[in-house]
């Protein structure tokens, strides 16, 4: 009980500090930032869309970025953990790709500082896309002649089919996958009719109980930080919450699996709360099936609180206001496949 009291007092104090300034409520920008070494162009976006949808970047020719990050709805795959090549299951829930461009680091454990670096990970993950190494990815793309004109349009003439340019193109496309026109964004920008009374109550409850100490900023994923500087929090912070064992929340040690630093045990990049209605199941292991239950779990494991059902329902109503219209996507026509492309 003492630990719960300390955790709750600490987080509520942080929440009070944020609450003293209504600028805590920030709308999502309408354009995602791009790094200086990869300015966004239409040519890169077109090429990146093709590569994002192309399963030939996997060893079996069956798994693409789209396979685990379905843009028709939540930008994820709705499985507790994703399925990769040969039916293998990964260890973590697929994060949504919608608005990922605004995060300062990528993956649950923050191991990739940019979208460009993130794009290089799944193709060579033995469970996800299964290519032997990054050079094999490059050689696979080079063996599809129809890709060359698109690479030259995006990056110029010469030896431009490289892993860095593959990643740059995918990242450029992903920076178009944003949802800035939610009811919440319209409300923050001055349209006070954009939220219902219940959503406004939930917004206030969200701040009052301390959710905003971690889920702040325009992404509700922490403060805006320079690219590569992740905002991490320990999860769970209340180890004797009954939800910890129920949902196996400590089996995965989070960022520790990357750094090996004991201080990073159970540290996680704070996930965005945008479009949550589209991204069930929840948590890093996909163990929590519904949004109301996720609110209860977080209140208990992070704040040491047991919320009333009215509080839960109000917060859920507010979280629903963080979902916006998904920009219409066009499935690209991919270059033809040579008949021997997937030969051993």
The span from the CA of 52 to the CA of 173, in Å, is 8
**Ramachandran angles phi, psi of 29, nearest 5°:** -60, 155
> Which are the contacts of 267, defined by CB distance < 8 A and separation ≥ 6?
232, 233, 234, 235, 254, 255, 256
Residue 246 buriedness (CB in 10 A; 0-12 / 13-18 / 19+): exposed
Q: From the centroid of its chain, how far is CA 88?
A: 21
Question: Measured over all CA atoms, what is the biggest interatomic distance in the chain, rounded to whole angstroms?
Answer: 66
Confirm if 144 and 56 have CB atoms less than 8 A apart.
yes
> Which are the contacts of 317, defined by CB distance < 8 A and separation ≥ 6?
196, 198, 199, 201, 202
Whether 128 sits among the annotated catalytic residues: the reply is: yes
Catalytic option among 43, 46, 117, 128 = 128
Q: Please list the active-site residues.
A: 128
């Amino acid at each position: 009980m003492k630990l719960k009291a300390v955790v709750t007092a600490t987080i509520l104090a942080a929440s009070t500090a944020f609450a003293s300034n209504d600028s805590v409520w920030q709308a999502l920008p309408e354009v995602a930032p791009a790094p200086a070494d990869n300015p966004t162009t239409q040519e890169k976006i077109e090429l990146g869309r093709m590569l994002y949808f192309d399963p030939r970047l996997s060893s079996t020719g069956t798994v693409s970025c789209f396979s685990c990050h379905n843009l028709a709805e939540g930008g994820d795959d709705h499985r507790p953990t994703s399925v990769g090549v040969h039916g293998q299951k990964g260890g973590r829930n697929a994060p949504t790709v919608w608005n990922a461009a605004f995060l300062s680091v990528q993956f649950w454990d923050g191991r990739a500082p940019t979208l460009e670096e993130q794009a290089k990970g799944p193709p060579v993950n033995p469970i996800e896309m299964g290519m032997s190494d990054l050079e094999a990815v490059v050689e696979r793309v080079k063996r599809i002649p129809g890709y060359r004109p698109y690479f030259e349009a995006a990056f110029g003439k010469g030896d431009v089919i490289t892993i860095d340019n593959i990643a740059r193109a995918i990242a450029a496309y992903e920076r178009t996958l944003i949802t800035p026109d939610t009811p919440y964004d319209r409300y923050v920008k001055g349209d006070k009719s954009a939220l219902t009374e219940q959503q406004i109550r939930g917004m206030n409850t969200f701040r009052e109980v301390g959710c905003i100490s971690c889920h702040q900023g325009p992404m509700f994923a922490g403060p805006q930080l320079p690219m590569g500087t992740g905002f991490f929090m320990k999860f769970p912070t209340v180890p004797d919450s009954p939800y910890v064992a129920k949902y196996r929340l400590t089996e995965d040690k989070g960022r520790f699996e990357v750094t090996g630093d004991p201080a990073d045990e159970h540290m996680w990049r704070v996930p965005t709360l945008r479009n949550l209605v589209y991204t069930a199941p929840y948590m890093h292991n996909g163990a929590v099936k519904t949004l109301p239950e996720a609110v209860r779990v977080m209140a208990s494991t992070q704040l040491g609180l047991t919320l009333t059902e009215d509080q839960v329902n109000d917060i859920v109503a507010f979280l629903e206001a963080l979902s916006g219209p998904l920009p219409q996507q066009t499935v690209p026509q991919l270059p033809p496949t040579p008949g021997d492309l997937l030969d051993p």
